Amino acid sequence: MALISFMINGQPWKGQVEAHETLLDLIRDKLGLTGTKKGCDSGECGACTVILNGLSVNSCIVPALEVEGKEVLTIEGLSRGEVLHPIQEAFISEGAVQCGFCTPGMIMSTKALLDSNPHPSKQEIRQALAGNLCRCTGYGRIVAAVEKAAKMGGDDLAGNDSREISDKV
């Protein structure tokens, strides 16, 4: 048991964490952020993908204790209140979601991709999503959604955030 503090979706969190606890269990069970999914629990499926200090990781194999002092972004941190992130909009409008279990992970991997490569090729998109498995849609619509998100300016690089920033929501 140890006390850790870290930033989650821009908010500070402080609390007790066990040595055997994973980041995935911490964010789902202690923080109640259940958007991040547990699929394989062993690094294979990508359902648990979150962004840790700017890099996408499988939260099911990151010890919770390791995030002390770091920044974690989960699917819940993408929208601004009611205003969805362009990547989320693109997944909806392209119909890239069926059961939705893989979707939060797909979207976080997409965000990590677009923030480092705002205009990826199809091949680059496929490679970037190789660690995210979908059992429903087939990958065609997902790749199309990522292409659309890129066109919409779905990266969050400086000055290229297409969402309206509103203090009211």
Ligand X SMILES: Cc1cc2nc3c(=O)[nH]c(=O)nc-3n(C[C@H](O)[C@H](O)[C@H](O)COP(=O)(O)OP(=O)(O)OC[C@H]3O[C@@H](n4cnc5c(N)ncnc54)[C@H](O)[C@@H]3O)c2cc1C
- Among 18, 29, 44, 68, contact with ligand X (rule: CB under 6 A): 44
CA 11 to the chain's CA centroid? 16
* Residue 110 Cβ vs ligand X, minimum distance, rounded to whole Å: 19
Q: Would you count residue 74 as binding another protein (CB under 8 A)?
A: no
- DSSP letters, 37-86, are --SSSSSSS-TTEEEETTEEEEGGGSBGGGGTT-EEE-GGGTSBTTB--H
For residue 140, state whether it binds ligand X (rule: CB under 6 A). no
Nearer to ligand X, 132 or 137 (CB): 132
Choices 5-13, 28-36, 125-133, 157-165; region in contact with another protein by CB under 8 A: 125-133
Structural tokens at position 64: 């919770």
Residues that bind another protein (CB under 8 A): 2, 18-22, 41-44, 46, 49, 55-58, 61-63, 65-66, 109, 112-113, 127-128, 130-132
